[in-house]
Amino acid sequence: MNIQIIDTKPFADQKPGTSGLRKKVPVFKQEHYLQNFVQSIFDSIGAPPGSALTVGGDGRYFNRQAIQIILKMAAANRFSRILVGKDGILSTPAASCVIRKHGTFGGIILSASHNPAGPSGDFGIKYNTSNGGPAPEKVTDAIFAKTKSISQYKWIEVPDVNLGKVGEQTLDDMIVQVIDPVSDYAALMESIFDFDAIRRLFFSGFKMKFDAMHAVTGPYAVEILQKRLGASAGTVMNAVPLEDFGGGHPDPNLTYAHDLVEIAYGKDGPDFAAASDGDGDRNMILGKGFFVNPSDSLAVLAANATLVPAYKKGLAGIARSMPTSAAADRVAQSLGLACFETPTGWKFFGNLMDAGKVTLCGEESFGTGSNHVREKDGLWAVLFWLNILAVKHQSVETVMREHWNKFGRNFYSRHDYEGIPSEAASGLMKHVTESFAELTGKKFGKHEIRFCDDFSYTDPVDASVSSGQGIRIIFVDGSRIIFRLSGTGTEGATLRLYLEAYEPDPARHNLDAQEALSDFITIASQISGLRERTGRERPTVIT
């Protein structure tokens, strides 16, 4: 093997965010940029020579070129075997599944999730550890530290691997095993859910639409929903993954998945509709003219978990990210389960799942998952809902309404202010933080603030502390206003305002969420100077 040592200089902007390093494609295409980050990963993870690695991505523009670079660097860094999805494709949950099933030392996932793709779009890279989950902060901190001092990386000059052919090839001394990206994942789903019951549901005439948004889930959804479960042809729309996601924004929410929303709310709409994001880890659940809030979805899955074969013995516990509504907490309480509140980002769930403390995890940002892998999992959530509907023989709306009747409703909404100037965003956060003392105990009409803080989390397993995770303003009745800056954007800053109010009275469950939350929307604006500081009249996206 002819290993070359290439001289390089550090880039100042390689700090991983909520979900790895995300930048515009032209940034990644700079000479040595990707190479520096990959070498920093290899230098930080301590993989013994001869280790195996999983590599794959969401298929977006630059995915294949990046994989060829990573393969050559992996060979130069003495990895012995790489499992890579055919055509470079692996959804994020499928990559997690492959790492775990085949016991690779870790994995590199190429994705910028739901961010738009293409030559001027976004690209991303992250490292997952041997449990299949996103690297914890101590690893991402080490990678970042390395990027700041890197002076060389290892390379071998060999022809590209043929990613289009399943089977083993060699790249110098290293084996590259190109795998079918779907089969391990589909088998795992079949081992979790009651496929017979779901098959009978489809056979009975139940209609579904799944929008793959021209992103990675198309092949997975076609195989599982249409081929294995017998949903009719055409159930999966926009099923072919495209390098630019068809020019779309594969973020499964009411704004960006509007084509599907129109179908779900239209005359003769299907019984059930769902969508996933660019890399397949998010999910949106819709009934006939009915939207399920992701925080509520986690609560429904928890309350009905024993209907699913893999969870029939019950759950170990539930975890949710801090901004996610407390709907799941109410279920945990009624089932006598432990419930954990973590910072935003899936990496914080890994320790809890590895330690057997939780089975289900969820985030308000359309992310739900369980200990079957160590990533959130879009299709898994869709199959979970299908399994519930198949057993209960109820509509999505009825399942949700019965849930609210039993547990009360946590009205919830997230307002995103995307692409605002970074100084305006940090100024707003600073201003609210400096007002904590003055706000505590203050009354706004009938709403009294109980306390405010900047959320800090101590991991119950390894005692690591993560601070600065978002401002919480908590009212006496448990209602909450949360301000947080996004860690995944690539342009300016994105301010997220999260709003939650609990309503026990079923007579009021029909209110529109924005209406039910209007007092808190006003209070949030008042205490933060939102309009003046951002110059925005309204949010970019309301969920």
Q: Do residues 530 and 524 touch, judged by C-beta distance below 8 A?
A: yes
Q: At closest approach, how far in Å is the CB of 103 from Co ion?
A: 25
Strand partners, 154: 5
Q: State the residue for tokens 């400096």.
A: 434
Does 281 contact ligand VG1 by CB under 6 A? yes
DSSP state of 134: B
345 contact, one of ligand VG1, Co ion, none, CB 5-8 Å limit per kind:
ligand VG1
58's contact among Co ion, ligand VG1, none, with CB below 5 to 8 A by partner kind, is: none
Residue number with CB closer to Co ion (281 or 363): 281
State the residues that interact with Co ion by CB under 5 A.
113, 277, 279, 281-282
Site string for ligand VG1, 469-508 (x = CB under 6 A): -----------------xxx-------x------------
| CB 82 within 8 Å of CB 177 | yes
Residue 295 designated active-site: no
Distance between CA atoms of residues 372 and 349, nearest Å: 13
CA distances from 437 to 75, 261, 426, 462, 524 (A): 56, 43, 19, 32, 16
When the beta carbons of 122 and 279 are compared against Co ion, the nearer one is: 279
Phi, psi of 107 (to 5 degrees): -155, 155
CA 251 to chain centre: 10
From 113, 321, 365, 413, the catalytic residue: 113
Q: In what order do the strands lie in the sheet with 493-503?
A: 443-444, 447-454, 471-475, 480-485, 493-503, 409-420, 541-542
Among the residue ranges 35-43, 223-231, 276-284, 519-527, the one whose residues contact ligand VG1 (CB under 6 A): 276-284
Residue with token string 């448990």: 478
From Co ion, ligand VG1, none, interface partner of 106 (C-beta below 5 to 8 A by class): none
| Given 113, 131, 359, 528, the residue binding ligand VG1 (CB under 6 A) | 113
| CA atoms of 38 and 125, how far apart (whole Å) | 9
Q: Which does 344 bind (CB under 5 to 8 A by kind): Co ion, ligand VG1, none?
A: ligand VG1
Q: Which tokens in the block code for residue 73?
A: 């660097």
Site for ligand VG1 (CB under 6 A): which residue of 18, 35, 40, 54?
18
Dihedral (C-alpha) 206, 211, 215, 221: value to the nearest 10 degrees?
0
Q: Of these partners, ligand VG1, Co ion, none, which one is at the site of residue 214 (CB under 5 to 8 Å by kind)?
A: none
Q: Where in 46-65 is the site for ligand VG1 (CB under 6 A)?
A: none
Q: Which is nearer to Co ion, 113 or 528 (CB)?
A: 113
Non-local CB neighbours of 194 within 8 Å, separated by 6+ positions: 307, 308, 309, 387, 390, 391
Q: Could you tell which of ligand VG1, Co ion, none binds residue 371, using a CB distance below 5 to 8 A set by kind?
A: none
Rounded to whole angstroms, the Cα distance separating 495 from 497 reads 7
Q: Nearest approach, Cβ of 364 to Co ion (angstroms)? A: 14
How far apart are the C-alpha atoms of 250 and 255, rounded to whole Å? 10
For ligand VG1, the closer CB: 124 or 269: 124
Q: Which does 80 bind (CB under 5 to 8 A by kind): ligand VG1, Co ion, none?
A: none
Can you say how many angstroms the Cα of residue 480 is from the centroid of all Cα atoms in its chain? Answer: 23
CB 287 within 8 A of CB 397: yes
Site size for ligand VG1 (CB under 6 A): 18
- In the complex with ligand VG1, which residue's Cβ is closer, 143 or 449? 143
Helix, strand, or coil (residue 349): coil
**352-391: which residues touch ligand VG1 (CB under 6 A)?**
363, 365, 367
- The binding track of 320-359 with respect to ligand VG1, each residue x by CB under 6 A or -, is -x----------------------xxx-------------
Instruction: Give yes or no for residue 19 binding ligand VG1 (CB under 6 A).
Output: yes
The single residue listed with the structure tokens 């195989």 is 223
DSSP single-letter state for residue 160: P
35 vs 113, beta carbon nearer Co ion: 113
d(CA 362, CA 339): 11
The nearest distance, CB 157 to Co ion, in angstroms, is 34
What are the tokens at 295? 């925080």
Q: Which residues are catalytic?
A: 113
Binding site for ligand VG1 (CB under 6 A): 18-19, 113-114, 277, 281-282, 321, 344-346, 363, 365, 367, 486-488, 496
